[in-house]
Amino acid sequence: MSEQKIQDELAQAKAEIAELKQNQAHLISADDAFKTVLDASPVPQALNDEHQNIIYINPAFTKTFGYQLSDIPTLSEWWPKAYPDPDYRKKVVDFWLQHLQKSQLDNKPFEDFEVKIHCKDNSIKTVMAGASSLRGLFKGILLVTLYDISRTRRTESELNQTATLLENVINSTPDLILVKNKQLQTILCNEASAKAVGKSRQAMLGKTDIENGWNPELINGNPQKGIRGFVHDDMDALAGKNIHNSYDPANVGGKIRIFDSYKRPLRDANNEIMGLLLIARDVTERINTEEQLRRSQKMDALGKLTGGIAHDFNNMLGVILGYSELLQNTLANDSKPARYTEQIIKAGQRAHTLTSKLLAFSRNQPTEMRVWDINKILSDDQHMLEKTLTASIEFSLHQQENLWPVYIDKDSFSDAVLNMCINAMHAMPDGGQLTITTSNTIITENMSESLTVSAGEYVQVIIEDTGAGIVPEIQERIFEPFFTTKDITSTGLGLSQVYGFITQSNGDIQLSSEPNNGSRFIIYLPRFTKTDNELTDFTDEHETADTQQRQSILIVDDEPALRELTEEFLIQNNFTVFHAQNAIEALKILADEKIHLMLTDAIMPGINGYQLASRVTKQHPQVKIIMASGYIEINTPQENINPEYRYLEKPYRSSELLKIIKELLD
């Protein structure tokens, strides 16, 4: 090689060395500048070379994850520390390498992905990882950026938990919750609201109330029917008013339910009204219960009033009828005064019939309570009912076999059924159908909320007709005494007798009726649960032979006129008579005198007739007892009503009294 050539090559080598030194100086200068930028970044960042070495991490990286560069000089040392779980680590590494390869081939930024990094202090950070290949002086270098989104994810998780909690809360309540925008479109609702109209929650969103199936008349109102329409409440709420409506009707499942509703303006972050929050509680059952209680209290008050009046009136009737009979016995049968006396007696008996109906309503009428089979009573009465209803009405009787026994007064039950059948006949002047159905039924706790009886086993009697029906305005009053929709010749006491019988039997009655769609009465009578051998029938009573004369009778009554009248009658029939105005006097007489029979009023001040009779039965078991009353206290314990006593309803005929006395003393 020539010397010149050697010199040329040497000169070229020096030039290349000078250029390399210059480039190196530029790289060092650029590297320092680049690292300065990375150090200032609040985001964790690292530099990887093409040999998978980690050549640099910035302070934010160390601050966030705790690792120094000496802890993780290569990716092979980073992976197990950042992702200690082998399965998770494999998943991350595979994902990383695939995206890295794709990025290099497409010359595009590395696609971000979310990972959970295990820090040096064993805490875990949720990170959005991204990477990009550098160019120019830094060719072959990969810039890795790890955005810490742990706080964001925690916030999202808390928001999700809050949203889930709110979702569970609004869906766990039976109350209706609705939110509407300013266009009155539903933007949020709970399950109860969706269930009310038979839709899904999603299907309700963005739609108006009418589109969601609420009753248009209830929404828009109807002034002629007195319906305001709850759209007006909605508009008031959008105007900034708080609305409370304690009687808000709405259609739910095809039926009108009553809601206690609150409507409030819904405001945004700037306190601007953005829509309606509605919270509505279904109070239909509560209103029905309160209405049932109010009716029961009203009927009880009417019962006490009519019972008290009838009791006093019966005593007066007893005196009138008794002295009329005594007077009649002293007159010639064909005389004019005798005929006058007979008319007085007939008028008194008619008045007694009226007081009996009043007492039946007030539940204070003397009764013959026994255990009965309802099916047998109805079967015995079927012919009579068919004749009463006439041929224009088709009568059907459907009876369940093995019907449970009930403890009732047979005659009162028959009268109640007859009254209801006659009412049904009047409601079907052009003919129709009347059906009586018996069955065993169980009243649940939910069912008992709308009744006055408790849950349990009952015999159910349904009396149903196809007549004119009963308008809602008068349904509440049909059991009141003297209330009638018929002409002035009606006493209005038929259904009041029904009510009295049912309540005295510890039962209940429900009415379901609509104009032109007939009426349906459901009677519930409690099942008798004692021994089967107590199921008895009434037996015919036959008059016995005359009793021995001059036997002694004790009269106990707080009404002086009745005592004197009864004493006069018994003396005329050759009895020895003692009388007392209260139980204390009676017990003294019984202790001193030989008494064969005691006739006592049931209702007296202090010790009543039942209590007196109970003492006499224990202390003087040989004494026969007649209990006389036109009024029985509602709270009289059943154990005080002894089947060995004879019961006489006031006002009674003297012949009735004499007949019973002879039977007992024979």
Phi, psi of 120 (to 5 degrees): -65, -30
Say how far apart CA 628 and CA 361 lie, in whole Å: 19
What one-character-per-residue DSSP string does 616-632 give? HHHH-TT-EEEEEES--
Residue 539: pLDDT band with limits 50, 70, 90:
very low
Q: Residue 343: is its pLDDT beyond 90? A: no
- What mean pLDDT comes out for the span 74-82? 92
Of all residues in the chain, the percent with pLDDT exceeding 70 is 77
Say how far apart CA 103 and CA 101 lie, in whole Å: 5
Q: Which is the CATH superfamily of the domain at 41-153?
A: PAS domain (3.30.450.20)
- What mean pLDDT comes out for the span 333-355? 70
Candidates 455, 437, 464, 452; CA nearest to 505 is 452
Q: Residue 150: is its pLDDT beyond 70? A: yes
> Does residue 432 or residue 3 have the better pLDDT?
432
Mean pLDDT of the chain: 79
Query: What region, left, alpha or beta, does residue 550 occupy, with left being phi > 0 and alpha being psi -120 to 50 degrees?
Result: left
Q: Residue 437: is its pLDDT beyond 60? A: yes
β pairing state of 273-282 and 255-267: antiparallel
Q: Which two tokens stand for residue 233?
A: 């409440």
pLDDT of 491 reads 43
- What mean pLDDT comes out for the span 86-92? 92
- What mean pLDDT comes out for the span 561-573? 84
pLDDT of 17 reads 53
Residue 231: pLDDT band with limits 50, 70, 90:
confident
pLDDT of 452 reads 78
- The terminus-to-terminus CA distance of the chain in angstroms comes to 171
Q: Residue 199: is its pLDDT beyond 60? A: yes
- What mean pLDDT comes out for the span 38-56? 85
CATH of the domain spanning 552-665: 3.40.50.2300
- What mean pLDDT comes out for the span 606-616? 90
pLDDT of 27 reads 42
- What mean pLDDT comes out for the span 103-113? 73
CATH of the domain spanning 369-534: 3.30.565.10
pLDDT tens per residue, range 441-496: 999 988 887 787 889 999 999 999 998 887 776 766 676 655 555 544 444 445 77
pLDDT of 276 reads 72
173-282 topology per CATH: Beta-Lactamase (3.30.450)
pLDDT tens per residue, range 316-340: 777 777 777 777 777 766 777 777 7
Residue 584: pLDDT band with limits 50, 70, 90:
very high
Q: Residue 519: is its pLDDT beyond 70? A: yes
Q: Residue 143: is its pLDDT beyond 70? A: yes
Q: Helical H runs in 248-335? A: 284-330
- What mean pLDDT comes out for the span 364-380? 78
Lowest mean per-residue pLDDT among 85-94, 175-184, 489-498, 539-548: 539-548
Instruction: Tell me the three state secondary structure of residue 531.
Output: coil
Residue 549: pLDDT band with limits 50, 70, 90:
very low
Lowest mean per-residue pLDDT among 153-157, 197-201, 293-297, 623-627: 293-297
Cα R_g (the chain), whole angstroms: 49
Helix axes 583-592, 609-619, angle to 10 degrees: 20
Supply the DSSP symbol for 108.
Answer: -
